[in-house]
Structure 1
């Protein structure tokens, strides 16, 4: 019987264990998780009729793998979509909230009339949008052969203002990274493909979204945590070892040897689903070059969810972003009950503050009460004085947002070759081929498929 180790019990590790259990193969599995719970940054708190997401609050609808898994797990009736009829995102500028024009996809406008009416952009930025359409052939011709930063890509199309007001804040919320370092080919492959085909991103978006009315985000009635909970219910309890940290990984002629806090064991295959920092440290004695390729910057996130028994006025929409240089520690705020239905009892409110980058790093060391006080102060400056919450949820996620720097795809291609040469080990998680929940599920399923075959 083949013995398989799964190192790390976040979403990727849990998904791998679930797919192995579903395959009904002749395998013996050990899932190591150093903490006392499974799911990693996927966690949902349910209390008093409130559904509070401690990490991701959903996934991008256009990637199918999370939705397919939810339906497979019997959660089809629990699937919900973002309330896009009221979708509006604001940007904090000079102490006020300015709405992004309707129809924007990232930094690309789908409605030029809405751009013309917008007070978010200066006349210079609006002119850059207008001119981008007429520069289609020029932009196609000047597209670089190799990788480049998101900043260079966006600035080439729309200028510095659009980069700083829209693209930078949006990507900071996902990667917590510097747009001057992030790889456009790894982070925004769809836009790179649009440029190659159309030159103009505005023309490309118009052509590709004609008649499309798919909701932007998908989630579950009881929160994203339902995915983990339902998968865990399908995993044999004897496979899971909570509170057991893997401290050593060794390649041997007939497989792998893992040393943990409870001893040393032999395995035929290893699914390395630990955070990339941990995976790199464990693999360094096995393949130093592979470990070098796994080195990457990562930023920390702090999330604070506030639940209020009584409603109060909020701007209509999903929330707001805060560009750099606006004098706020916040990166973003979500108006949770306006983004997804069923997140609060009738008449109640929920908002979620998100800190990252340098502010996130500083807040990691603070206590929950101090973090909550900072968050209420920052939110109050934008939304007015907030009432006393009936529930506050604080979560710290250190180095949880990997930064896919320029050249990431080339490094991952080399890393993939080295890992394959080692035989019997797979790398899973958000440090390699995508940070979204669907990406992690897709990779776990593919790795298990290779093992079973």
Structure 2
């Protein structure tokens, strides 16, 4: 039997370990902290289900749901409340609704843009003109990678970039659209441009009345994925609170730690050039949940996004009980505030009380008066979101070619940051090593 060492027990490392066990392959999993799951963490308190990391996944990516079913959690799969889905953008401390039918920054219904205060006449005209520019746009598509900002500007101009695209991407990546790679972050849109030229035309051809919900979660919280996999691992296969100072002697070494930790571990295992190819930057996130013992009026929908141009430290907020059912007891409310981007790392040094007070003050400034929360939770995720800068995919291809055949990388620094991407890669690697 091969000797396999997995360094890091986040969702990627744990999924790989679970899959190896299902295939009858022994392993040893080393986790530096006292818990498994990495950023996947669910808190249950006073009837509230509070996600302290990701709260679900994009439904169209099937790999997380497949794992849930394989773990016997199919009955727990819970769609988002899309019937009431509205996404709000903050402008001048006021909420403006994104028009119906928007997919990221692309409308599928041009008529829905009419009367929207989110866009000027010039922006609406840019949208209306894009389908007729299909051949021009297809011909202008570069052969090399480019930034998300350059991609959006070619299609719709500065206003759409700043009003919609930048806050949407910051809410997911905490990143800079002038640096982020469009091919790594938005590959579907790049392919749409290659095939159709017009993104609007491409999306209109894909819209179906029976489209699934945008997001999916688990009724009991995503932490159940972690608990179910951890419980299935054989005794003695996991070493908790076991930071690695030297690589264990193994036939295969799987590095599944955060990118800044892998940078240290990879030295001595691969050429220095391999280390240089890892993402150079990572943003930090702080999630503050505010639980309220009373119900109060909120705008319809899932929450809001905050452009960088606004005088707010928030990147986004989620109206948790409106996004997914069963998150709170009847007659109560749960809000989640997301801080990150350029200020993220500095905010991680504030104490819990200061962060909870900041979250409440920022939400009041945008939503109006709010009750005093019954309780709050704070979760810091320093350097948790590697930035896929322009040229990322080419660098990852070069990196793969420099790794020894027995060294493997898993995590959110390579081929996707969402749970489905991490689960896909982890299960695929386990199958590859046992084939």
TM over 0.5: yes
Alignment equivalent of 2:277, drawn from 280, 283, 293? 293
Counting only pairs closer than 5 Å after superposition, residues 228-307 of structure 1 correspond to structure 2 as: 228-248=226-246, 258=247, 265-286=248-269, 287-307=271-291
Deviation at 1:210, TM superposition (A): 3.6
1:175 corresponds to 2:173: yes
Alignment equivalent of 1:445, drawn from 413, 418, 427? 427
Asked whether the equivalents of residues 174 and 401 of structure 1 are also in contact (C-alpha less than 8 Å), the reply is: no
Q: State the partner residue of 2:306.
A: 322
Q: State the partner residue of 2:411.
A: 429
**Corresponding residue SS for 2:102:** coil
**Corresponding residue SS for 2:346:** helix
Deviation at 1:174, TM superposition (A): 1.4
Deviation at 1:236, TM superposition (A): 1.5
Tell me the alpha carbon deviations over residues 276-306 of structure 1, each in whole angstroms, 9 at most, x when there is no partner: 1111111122321111111421100000011
Counting only pairs closer than 5 Å after superposition, residues 3-402 of structure 1 correspond to structure 2 as: 3-25=3-25, 27=26, 29-248=27-246, 258=247, 265-286=248-269, 287-402=271-386
Tell me the alpha carbon deviations over residues 23-80 of structure 1, each in whole angstroms, 9 at most, x when there is no partner: 123x2x2111111111111000011110000010000000000000001101011110
Q: Normalized against structure 2, the TM-score is what?
A: 0.98
Tell me the alpha carbon deviations over residues 91-144 of structure 1, each in whole angstroms, 9 at most, x when there is no partner: 000111000001100000011111112111111111110111111111011000
**Structure-2 separation of matches of 1:340 and 1:79:** 11
**Structure-2 separation of matches of 1:6 and 1:175:** 26
**Structure-2 separation of matches of 1:354 and 1:129:** 30
Q: State the partner residue of 1:255.
A: none
**Structure-2 separation of matches of 1:295 and 1:227:** 28
Asked whether the equivalents of residues 280 and 295 of structure 1 are also in contact (C-alpha less than 8 Å), the reply is: no
Q: State the partner residue of 1:418.
A: 402
**Corresponding residue SS for 2:431:** helix
**Corresponding residue SS for 1:238:** coil
**Structure-2 separation of matches of 1:100 and 1:330:** 18
Asked whether the equivalents of residues 32 and 242 of structure 1 are also in contact (C-alpha less than 8 Å), the reply is: yes
**Structure-2 separation of matches of 1:320 and 1:438:** 24
Asked whether the equivalents of residues 300 and 360 of structure 1 are also in contact (C-alpha less than 8 Å), the reply is: yes
**Corresponding residue SS for 1:316:** coil
Deviation at 1:214, TM superposition (A): 1.2
Asked whether the equivalents of residues 281 and 387 of structure 2 are also in contact (C-alpha less than 8 Å), the reply is: yes
Asked whether the equivalents of residues 304 and 317 of structure 2 are also in contact (C-alpha less than 8 Å), the reply is: yes
How many residues align structurally? 434
Structure 1 segments of 4+ aligned residues over 6 angstroms from their partners: none
Deviation at 1:212, TM superposition (A): 4.3
Tell me the alpha carbon deviations over residues 137-193 of structure 1, each in whole angstroms, 9 at most, x when there is no partner: 110110001100000001110111111111111111111110000000000000000
**Structure-2 separation of matches of 1:109 and 1:364:** 36
Return 5+ residue gaps in structure 1 as ranges: 249-257, 259-264
Q: State the partner residue of 1:252.
A: none
Asked whether the equivalents of residues 194 and 204 of structure 1 are also in contact (C-alpha less than 8 Å), the reply is: yes
**Corresponding residue SS for 1:401:** strand
Asked whether the equivalents of residues 132 and 157 of structure 1 are also in contact (C-alpha less than 8 Å), the reply is: yes
**Structure-1 separation of matches of 2:265 and 2:61:** 31
**Structure-1 separation of matches of 2:425 and 2:354:** 38
Tell me which moved more, 145-154 or 220-229.
Answer: 220-229
**Structure-2 separation of matches of 1:5 and 1:58:** 29
